Amino acid sequence: MSSISVIIPTYNEEEYLPHLLQSLAKQSLEPLEVIVADANSQDSTREIALKADCMVVDGGLPAVGRNRGAQVAQGDYLLFLDADVIVPSDFIEKALKEFEDRYLEIAPIKFKPISSLKLDKLMFRINELAQQGLQEFYPISPGAALIVTKRLHRRIGGFDEESEIEDNDYGDRARAIAKFGVITTTYVNLSVRRFDKEGRFKLLNKYMKRGFFRRLRSLGVDYDFKYQFGDYSEAEGLTRAERFLENILQQLENKKDSF
């Protein structure tokens, strides 16, 4: 058994959490523990976690939940995962091996979309290239899939619970004193529910603004990012522009297959 603690912040995740917990139960290298930091869910999230033998602690917004989980974690490594991901059966084994082989202290993990849309695959691929290409001077560290040593987490004081960009802020502070790198030998499958809820291009625009204002925080400039946590109802589906681009990508794929 590895010395790695999995920490999952949740709020009303009865639909998605079981899939993640099932994938964690099938790992070739078992985690030391799975900690669910729940923000007073109104559904059966806590019951699902307890039935799966997870430790359940009180959480809040993601930064709060991650910190509360880390406070009780017994592992030397902390693996932060969002509830809407699913991991391959050799995920922990591969991720931890690369983490240790490269002497990393903090490392985000690449994503693959749980989607059949060409547009989603393209957007995730662009994000992957940006994450890997910019890691030396502009680290992107989404909390949806992130490994860090518990020692480093404590050194930097955990996630900033007052920040709306807590994950990248966390990565910035960690990289200033520790070795940062992106895990590439494995991946997590990530739901596209946020895309469906907020719109792909609207969300992309929000993240671009988020990145821009992230660099201005040191000058006292801030930006109010509204974070949707636990509310993904009333998804709008594809916009007209998204459907148009999806059709183009599908036609290009068909032409490629015809040769």
Would you say 78 and 158 are in contact if contact means Cβ atoms under 8 Å apart?
no
Average pLDDT along the chain: 86
**What's the average model confidence in pLDDT over 161-179?**
85
pLDDT at 205 over 60: yes
pLDDT at 7 over 80: yes
Give the per-residue pLDDT at 138.
66
pTM: 0.86
- What pLDDT band is residue 230 in, cutting at 50, 70 and 90? low
- φ, ψ dihedrals at 153, nearest 5°: -55, -45
Instruction: Find where tokens 């990565």 sit.
Output: 171
Q: Which CATH superfamily is domain 4-258 in?
A: Spore Coat Polysaccharide Biosynthesis Protein SpsA; Chain A (3.90.550.10)
Give the Cβ contact number of residue 209 at 10 Å: 12
pLDDT in tens, 31-65: 999 999 999 999 999 999 999 999 999 999 999 99
What's the angle, vertex CA 165, arms to CA 163 and CA 169, rounded to 5?
90
**What's the average model confidence in pLDDT over 77-81?**
98
Q: Which of 1-15, 84-98, 170-184 has the highest mean pLDDT?
A: 84-98
pLDDT in tens, 208-221: 666 555 555 555 55
Give the per-residue pLDDT at 13.
96
- Which of residues 211 and 257 earns the better pLDDT score? 257
Burial environment of residue 54 by CB neighbours within 10 A (0 to 12, 13 to 18, 19 or more): buried
pLDDT at 258 over 90: no
Q: Tell me the two tokens of residue 219.
A: 């000058």
Domain boundary assignment for the chain? 4-258
